[in-house]
Amino acid sequence: MPVKLLESSLYFNSLPVSLRQYLLRENGSGLIAEFKRKSPSKGWINQYAPVERTTLGYMQAGAAALSILTDTEFFGGKNEDLTTARRFNFCPILRKDFVVDEYQILEAKSIGADAVLLIAAVLTPEEINTLGRLAKSLGLEVLLEVHDGEELARSANADAVDLVGVNNRNLHDFSLSLDTSLQLAAAIPNEFVKVSESGISSAAAIGQLREVGYRGFLLGEAFMRNARPERACAALVQEIAALPKPAVAS
């Protein structure tokens, strides 16, 4: 679609909803509930849950924000899924995709996203700077995904990035370890809201992550592997409410 048409979309000039603010809300769950039908490691997870009922249910359950996979090949998503979620929800929506060029940033805004993901493993620091600044100029927030201290050190540029996400999934062998987040937490400067991504399924894990400074928790499979993902989300929100309150963010 030509850029001019993207810019004429209903959502292009709409006010963004801040993912940062929703994650930092007092008494909030910090959950970023993800809608994904399949994944490269598992194949199909859920072919049938409708995006309307699932995303509305996630938010009614007490999630802080939504993440919508728009990649078709690996995750079975499409742009229309995000726009559908947008029509049903006022919360922050993260567009989850493999962003490599500026067009995808404009596209994210035009389909109704509030935030985009930039993956340090596949982008140079210069690309992160250019793509992140463009996103911010459109009012989108930027979640930078890292796996280790080296990626963090070279890519976490405050002019281009709002939140740092640590992916617990090793992209080479798909193995999961919460230790990735636990070990990297202290190295992430406090100006970024800290998000832990992947392989999280219990309130106990979220309690541990909160203790080291995480305020956002991105969960996909733990919800989507259920026929009614939103019910699994509601159950987890209840358990999170019983955890000790996180310390006030510095």
**Interface with ligand IGP, residue 127, by CB under 6 A:** no
Residue 82 region, left (φ>0) first, then alpha (ψ -120 to 50), else beta?
alpha
User: 86 or 96: whose CB is closer to ligand IGP?
Assistant: 96
Encoded one letter per residue, x for contact with ligand IGP by CB under 6 A and - for no contact, window 75-114 reads: ---------------------x------------------
Q: How many chain residues touch ligand IGP (CB under 6 A)?
A: 14
What Å distances lie between residue 206 and 16, 57, 243, 246, CA to CA?
27, 21, 9, 10
Q: Considering only 77-85, 101-109, 192-200, 242-250, which stretch makes contact with ligand IGP by CB under 6 A?
A: 192-200
Q: Residues near 168 by Cβ (< 8 Å), separated by ≥ 6? A: 176, 177, 178, 180, 181, 196, 197, 198, 199, 200
Within positions 156 to 175, which residues make up the interface with ligand IGP, using CB under 6 A?
Answer: 167
Total residue count of the chain as it appears in this document: 250
Residues 137 to 156 in contact with ligand IGP, rule: CB under 6 A:
145
Residue with tokens 């080479």: 172
DSSP 43: E
Binds ligand IGP (CB under 6 A): choice among 31, 34, 59, 61: 34
Chain residues in the site for ligand IGP (CB under 6 A): 34, 36, 96, 145, 167, 197-200, 218-222
Residues marked as catalytic: 34, 36, 96, 145, 167, 197-198
